[in-house]
């Protein structure tokens, strides 16, 4: 589970900000008709297109020999022509589609990320195309072509859509969920300080992040991203399986203590015993109590449901989020930064890692490796290591990589631990400033996403948003050196821990 999480923590925020381009936002629905459910894709209308109502056109036609649509098409009255961006102007593509008798032109973007607008260059006039034209993202184009490859005729319908407010609300929902998880995970990570009697058992689960972990993360993560980029067609199902099986271990770790607390008899009753070799191979204990069995059963049910219904736009995203939330809580509970120095090294390494694989990797690989991997690389599947919130259009989601929550979350957990040990005032310590900085960084990410029309490396904003206020407050308080070299690892209690426990015991 940890290896899987470490390899893909840094998947960036990659939403689709499509509401303020060219002729405006549109919705494209493509399906086989006959009552079958159509797939829905966000699109951007051409500058000259302003349909009064839905435009339905059948069949959907794609000519591999004239993929860019710059040459003359065969006659297809009332059809939808699907072409790729490139080789000629959008107006030329539209004119060729009109000459063929098409009712709708759909252009597949040549670049990763959100679709761009299509301008008529000369403005509206006698030479302006009359056909309704819309551009879809490269990922959406792959999915439409995949549907066409099945051999059945498809129907397309396009209509204008004004969903800016819903778009903003979806972004706010992602931000609120991310901030809530960072706070929840941090509170979950200091259970040993809140409940001193559970300290021994709690610390058995904790692993200290080491100073070289940031470098190891960059190296291991880079290798994994490169492998996934070239072999996503084969490895996407391995990722889905690993993510689903993570639900079993994380559910057991989080749910079993709750069951044991309220039903102690279940913990005392043995349910089954695993063979020693099998237990060692899967990383589970040999002896399983009834409380273990119940928690594992719940986790297994969630995992199976996710694998079966992950592509269901109605609730598949919710199943994915449940597993992602448990994974994030487990990461913040089991991984601990011992001091600010280790945290700074980790965050700075992932900061440059994110920037390179989003913005600089196209210079080497011709594509943004991070965005290509995050969107499934044309497999028709999406990488599950993200939080997803649906937009107002079925099939459109706002997403945020788990690494954009987990990595800053480790720093914020350290800040809360430091505040509790030092007995800082609720709003006068590091934790509150870190959470506010994280929220501001997320806000900057979404603003940049909207302005740039391209998937953004969220850690570009989240790392400064959390590290800078932390260092500024430490400098102001004269605590930078002590926080920089502190020892909050599980190997020994921090200075002041016992006093804190004794004082809480007296108050109790």
* Residue bearing tokens 């000369």: 122
The reported pLDDT for the residue numbered 3 is 38
Q: Tell which CATH architecture fits domain 25-162.
A: 3-Layer(bba) Sandwich (3.50)
What percent of the chain stands above pLDDT 90?
30
Task: Answer whether residue 495 shows pLDDT above 70.
Answer: no
User: What is residue 357's DSSP assignment?
Assistant: I
Task: Answer whether residue 157 shows pLDDT above 70.
Answer: yes
Task: Answer whether residue 186 shows pLDDT above 90.
Answer: yes
Specify the range with the lowest mean pLDDT, choosing from 118-127, 238-247, 387-396: 118-127
Mean pLDDT is highest, among 199-208, 259-268, 321-330, 357-366, for 321-330
User: What is residue 360's DSSP assignment?
Assistant: I
**Are 101 and 73 contacting, i.e. CB atoms less than 8 angstroms apart?**
no
Cα 15 to Cα 29: distance, rounded to the nearest angstrom = 19
pLDDT digits (tens, 9 = 90+) for 263-300: 888 888 888 887 888 777 777 777 888 988 999 899 99
The reported pLDDT for the residue numbered 9 is 41
Mean pLDDT is highest, among 243-257, 268-282, 320-334, 365-379, for 320-334
Task: Answer whether residue 202 shows pLDDT above 70.
Answer: no
The reported pLDDT for the residue numbered 184 is 95
Angle between helices 403-422 and 316-334 (to 10 degrees): 40
Q: Average pLDDT for residues 42-69, to the nearest whole number?
A: 85
Q: Average pLDDT for residues 118-132, to the nearest whole number?
A: 69
Q: What is the token pair recorded at 16?
A: 């689709």
**Are 91 and 120 contacting, i.e. CB atoms less than 8 angstroms apart?**
yes
Cα 310 to Cα 307: distance, rounded to the nearest angstrom = 6
Pick the more confident residue, 139 or 395: 139
The reported pLDDT for the residue numbered 507 is 40
pLDDT digits (tens, 9 = 90+) for 347-395: 999 999 988 988 888 889 888 888 788 777 767 677 898 898 887 666 6
pLDDT digits (tens, 9 = 90+) for 459-488: 999 999 999 999 999 999 999 999 999 888
Cα 343 to Cα 467: distance, rounded to the nearest angstrom = 9
Residue spans per domain, the chain: 3-14+165-502, 25-162
Average pLDDT, the chain: 82
Mean pLDDT is highest, among 46-60, 192-206, 438-452, for 438-452
Task: Answer whether residue 140 shows pLDDT above 70.
Answer: yes
- The DSSP H or E segment spanning 226 is helix 213-262
The reported pLDDT for the residue numbered 1 is 40
Buried b (16+ CB within 10 A) or exposed e, 335-356: bbbbbbebbbbbbebbbbbbbb
Q: Average pLDDT for residues 178-191, to the nearest whole number?
A: 93
The reported pLDDT for the residue numbered 288 is 83
Cis peptide before 24 (omega within 30 of 0): no
Task: Answer whether residue 42 shows pLDDT above 50.
Answer: yes
The reported pLDDT for the residue numbered 504 is 44
CA atoms within 13 Å, Cβ hemisphere of 373 = 32
Task: Answer whether residue 127 shows pLDDT above 60.
Answer: yes
**Are 484 and 339 contacting, i.e. CB atoms less than 8 angstroms apart?**
yes
The reported pLDDT for the residue numbered 345 is 95
User: What is residue 192's DSSP assignment?
Assistant: H
Q: Which residues sit opposite 289 in a β-bridge? A: 270
Q: What is the token pair recorded at 67?
A: 């993929």
**Are 114 and 18 contacting, i.e. CB atoms less than 8 angstroms apart?**
yes
Task: Answer whether residue 91 shows pLDDT above 60.
Answer: yes
Cα 79 to Cα 81: distance, rounded to the nearest angstrom = 6
The reported pLDDT for the residue numbered 488 is 87
Nearest to 348 by CA among 464, 438, 441, 431: 464
User: What is residue 336's DSSP assignment?
Assistant: E
């Amino acid at each position: 589970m940890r290896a899987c999480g470490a390899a893909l923590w840094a998947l960036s925020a990659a939403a689709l900000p499509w509401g303020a381009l060219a002729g405006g936002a549109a919705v494209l629905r493509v399906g086989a008709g006959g009552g079958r459910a159509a797939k829905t894709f966000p699109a951007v209308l051409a500058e000259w297109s302003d349909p009064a109502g839905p435009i339905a056109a059948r069949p959907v036609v794609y000519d591999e020999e004239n993929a860019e649509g710059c040459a003359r098409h065969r006659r297809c009255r009332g059809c939808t022509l699907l072409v790729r961006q490139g080789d000629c102007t959008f107006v030329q593509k539209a004119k060729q589609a009109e000459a063929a008798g098409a009712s709708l032109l759909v252009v597949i973007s040549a670049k990763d990320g959100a679709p761009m607008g299509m301008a008529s260059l000369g403005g509206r006039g006698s030479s302006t195309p009359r056909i309704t034209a819309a551009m879809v993202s490269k990922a959406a184009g792959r999915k439409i072509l995949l549907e066409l490859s099945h051999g059945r005729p498809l129907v397309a319908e396009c209509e204008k859509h004004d969903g800016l407010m819903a778009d903003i609300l979806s972004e706010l929902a992602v931000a609120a969920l991310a901030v809530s998880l960072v706070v929840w995970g941090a509170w979950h990570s200091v259970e040993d300080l809140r409940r001193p009697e559970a300290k021994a058992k709690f610390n058995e689960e904790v692993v200290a992040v080491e100073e070289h972990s940031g470098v190891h993360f960059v190296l291991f993560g880079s290798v994994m991203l490169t492998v996934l980029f070239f072999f996503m067609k084969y490895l996407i199902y391995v990722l889905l399986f690993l993510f689903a099986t993570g639900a079993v271990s994380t559910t057991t770790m989080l749910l079993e203590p709750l069951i044991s607390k309220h039903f102690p008899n279940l913990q005392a009753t043995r349910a089954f015993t695993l063979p020693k070799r099998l237990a060692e191979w899967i990383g589970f204990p040999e002896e399983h109590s009834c409380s273990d069995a119940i928690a594992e059963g719940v986790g297994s049910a969630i995992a199976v449901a996710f694998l079966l219904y992950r592509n269901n736009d109605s609730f598949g995203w919710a199943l994915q989020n449940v597993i992602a939330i448990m994974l994030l809580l487990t990461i913040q509970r089991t991984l601990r930064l011992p001091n600010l120095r280790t945290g700074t090294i980790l965050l700075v390494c992932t900061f440059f890692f994110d920037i390179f694989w989003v913005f600089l990797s196209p210079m080497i690989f011709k594509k943004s490796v991070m965005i290509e991997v995050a969107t499934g690389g044309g497999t028709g599947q999406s990488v599950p290591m993200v939080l997803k919130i649906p937009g107002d259009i079925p099939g459109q989601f706002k997403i945020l990589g788990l690494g954009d929550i987990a990595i800053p979350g480790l720093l914020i957990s350290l800040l809360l631990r430091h505040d509790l040990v030092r007995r800082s005032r609720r709003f006068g310590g590091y934790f509150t400033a870190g959470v506010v900085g994280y929220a501001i960084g997320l806000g900057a990410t979404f603003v940049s996403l909207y302005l740039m029309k391209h998937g953004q490396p969220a850690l570009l904003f989240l790392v400064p948003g959390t590290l800078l206020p932390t260092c500024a407050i430490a400098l102001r308080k004269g605590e930078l050196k002590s926080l920089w070299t502190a020892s909050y690892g599980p190997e020994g209690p921090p200075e002041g821990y016992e006093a804190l426990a004794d004082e809480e015991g007296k108050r109790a």
